[in-house]
Structure 1
Amino acid sequence: MLKINRENLKTSHQLIWFVIDFLMLGLLIINLAFIIFDSIYNFVAIQDLLAENAPVIKEIYHPIHQNFIFYDLIFVSIFLTEFVIRWGYSIKAKVYDRWYFYPFIHWYDIVGCIPVGTFRFLRILRVISIVYRLHQYKVIDVTQTKTFKFFNFYYEAFMEELSDRIVIKVLSGAQDEIRQGSPLFDRIQNEILYPRRDMLSEWMSKRVAEAAQEGYIPNRGALRSYLETRVDNALKQNMELSRLKYLPVVGPTIQETLEEAVGDIVANVIHQILEDLASASNHAFIEDIVNVFLPTPDENHQEEAPNEALINLIIEILDAVKTQVNVKHWRSELT
């Protein structure tokens, strides 16, 4: 249901024009209904149907139908009078830079006044322009009407489907170009990723440190026990080390001491690596890794083979974007 905001209507400095808009809107609706009815009545079958079932209506309307142009010209004269008044007001108020701009900007008002054939139905454009103007000044709110919501839903659904297909097509084309080694890959690497190499290193450094702190530090004891067990099993399966136990007197002691020492060394090395990753000191290590993926442009041009790791990374990112784009948001509104 279309509601009129009476407060905005009363406080507006264009109250008289809004009143005229409502009057014109009513006349346009009546005139369009008159045109549609006369177009339907123009069929002989309809006239015969009325003659059989509603002869009074046919008797009253038939003279009007024969003089349809005359009655339509009454509406046209009112519309043209209102058009000329608004044109004069726009000249006086200097709404447009030139006095002759008004009829060009409001061309649909003139074309709709042509009382010939399908030009009459262009008066619907004037209805739309009046409704839009009233909505723009917040006198009415068409967005709350069921009709607007109905058409807007299917319009948004159509635009989403269309835009999704276009975006997916473009992204697929970009992936093909990247696989084929087009300049697009070089631009992504040298003009987008390389200038942000420090930012990527900083971000990856923080993420690795957080992951190491959350995953390693709470399980430090269990990890050390696991490493020592695995190293002990590996040493026992080593043939050269197992021969030490055959040495007289000291063989078994040397073997046991060596196993403990190797296990302790391996565990300490792993722990030290994980502790370094969990601290801020991992930045240099992460930066070296990023530099391998993103060498300087001069170094990259000297390479013959393309950076396959970076190519795969970009393609996977585009795949993730395509997956997200392919989500149909409009379908969720149906549930």
Structure 2
Amino acid sequence: MLHINRENLRKSHQLIWFTIDFVMLGLLMINMALIIFDSIYSFAAVENLLAEHAGALRDFYHPIHENFIFYDLIFVSIFLAEFVLRWGYAIKASIYDRWYFYPFIHWYDLVGCIPVGSLRFLRILRVISIIYRLHQYKIIDVTQTRLYRFFNFYYEAFMEELSDRIVLKVLSGVQQEVRRGSPLFERIQNDILHPRRAMLTDWISERVAQAARQGYVPKRGALRSYLEDRVDVALKENLELSRLRLLPVVGPTIQETLEEAVGDIVANVIHQILEDLASASNHAFIEDIVDVFLPTPTAEGEPEEQNEALIQLIIEVIDAIKGQVRVKYWREQL
């Protein structure tokens, strides 16, 4: 159900033209309903059915059907008069650069006025143009109607399915090109990724540091206790270390001291590694990793295993993108 925004209607200062729009919209609806009914009435079976079951309606409408062109010309004359009125206003207000531009821009208004056969149904374009103009000026809001939401939902679903299939086809073709070792792979490696190694290194370094700060630093004590417990269990299960208890007097003391020292060393090593990852000092480590995947291009070419690693990396990245493309958001809305 369309609701008229009266406040925007008053603010527009075009009340006369919008009133004409509503009047023309009503006339167009009546005219289109008559055209559709007359087209249905043209079938002999429909006329005979009305003659049998609704004789009064058939007797009333049959003269209109016989002279339908005359009644249709009444609507056409009104439509043409409105067209000429708007054309004159466009000339007076200098809406277009040339006075004769208006008929070409609003060609659908003229074509729909031709009272011949299927051309009459082109008047639906005039209905659409009026509704669009009223929606554009926020006099009505088409998006709130059930009809619009119904068609828009299936239109979006169709476009999503279509675009997903196209994107998946393109990405699959890119994967095939990369696997074949086409110039595309060389371009991705040498012209796109390699010049941006510093940016990639900075980004990965920052993400690793952020993950380490958020995941390790708040749980440092719990992780240290866990590591010490695990090391203690492992040392107690070690056969060689358990033999230290057999030493007279000092055996148990040596074993406990060794267990505590090993646990403390492991915890400190892990602590230092994670502290380094959580700080800016991880940059050199990340840079070495990036250099492995993106070595500097050389004239002699790169080792095959390095090429294979980068190819696999690109293919997996594209697979991840394809997986995201396959998500059907319209199904979630449904």
TM-score (norm 2): 0.84
Question: What pairs up with 1:124-163 in 2 under 5 angstroms?
Answer: 124-163=124-163
Q: Given residue 273 of structure 2, which amino acid in structure 1 is its aligned partner?
A: D
Deviations 1:169-224 (A, max 9, x none): 22222222222223333343341453523332333344345545466653224424
- Check whether the contact 1:210–1:278 (CA below 8 A) recurs between aligned residues: no
Corresponding position: 1:199 with 2:208: no
Runs of 4+ in 1 over 6 A off after TM superposition: 256-263
Cα distance change, pair 178–152 in 1 and its aligned pair in 2 (3 A):
same
- Check whether the contact 2:231–2:262 (CA below 8 A) recurs between aligned residues: no
- Check whether the contact 1:69–1:115 (CA below 8 A) recurs between aligned residues: yes
Question: What pairs up with 1:108-127 in 2 under 5 angstroms?
Answer: 108-127=108-127
Q: Given residue 170 of structure 2, which amino acid in structure 1 is its aligned partner?
A: V
Cα distance change, pair 215–173 in 1 and its aligned pair in 2 (3 A):
farther
Counterpart for residue 84 of structure 1: 84
Q: Given residue 308 of structure 2, which amino acid in structure 1 is its aligned partner?
A: E
- Check whether the contact 1:231–1:263 (CA below 8 A) recurs between aligned residues: no
Q: Given residue 274 of structure 2, which amino acid in structure 1 is its aligned partner?
A: L
Give the number of aligned pairs: 327
Cα distance change, pair 185–278 in 1 and its aligned pair in 2 (3 A):
farther
Deviations 1:27-48 (A, max 9, x none): 1111111111111111111111
**Higher alpha-carbon deviation: 139-148 or 289-298:** 289-298
Question: What pairs up with 1:195-274 in 2 under 5 angstroms?
Answer: 195-197=198-200, 198-208=202-212, 210-213=214-217, 217-227=221-231, 230=234, 236=240, 264=261, 268=265, 271-272=268-269, 274=271
SS of residue matched to 2:291: helix
- Check whether the contact 1:164–1:325 (CA below 8 A) recurs between aligned residues: yes
Cα distance change, pair 309–133 in 1 and its aligned pair in 2 (3 A):
same
Counterpart for residue 185 of structure 1: 185
Shift in Å at residue 118 of structure 1? 0.4
Corresponding position: 1:57 with 2:48: no
Deviations 1:275-297 (A, max 9, x none): 13323233322222222222234
- Check whether the contact 1:135–1:141 (CA below 8 A) recurs between aligned residues: yes
The whole-number CA distance in structure 2 between the counterparts of 1:166 and 1:96 is 40
**Higher alpha-carbon deviation: 118-127 or 38-47:** 38-47
Cα distance change, pair 300–263 in 1 and its aligned pair in 2 (3 A):
farther
Shift in Å at residue 144 of structure 1? 1.0
Cα distance change, pair 225–148 in 1 and its aligned pair in 2 (3 A):
closer
Deviations 1:4-44 (A, max 9, x none): 11111122221111011111111111111111111111111
- Check whether the contact 1:205–1:283 (CA below 8 A) recurs between aligned residues: no
- Check whether the contact 2:32–2:121 (CA below 8 A) recurs between aligned residues: yes
The whole-number CA distance in structure 2 between the counterparts of 1:32 and 1:104 is 24
Deviations 1:98-145 (A, max 9, x none): 222211111111110111110000000000000000011011111111
- Consecutive unaligned residues of structure 1, counting only runs of 5 or more, are 243-249
Q: Given residue 181 of structure 1, which amino acid in structure 2 is its aligned partner?
A: G
The whole-number CA distance in structure 2 between the counterparts of 1:266 and 1:180 is 51
The whole-number CA distance in structure 1 between the counterparts of 2:301 and 2:102 is 60
The whole-number CA distance in structure 2 between the counterparts of 1:307 and 1:260 is 50
- Consecutive unaligned residues of structure 2, counting only runs of 5 or more, are none
Cα distance change, pair 213–295 in 1 and its aligned pair in 2 (3 A):
farther
- Check whether the contact 2:2–2:142 (CA below 8 A) recurs between aligned residues: yes
Shift in Å at residue 68 of structure 1? 1.1
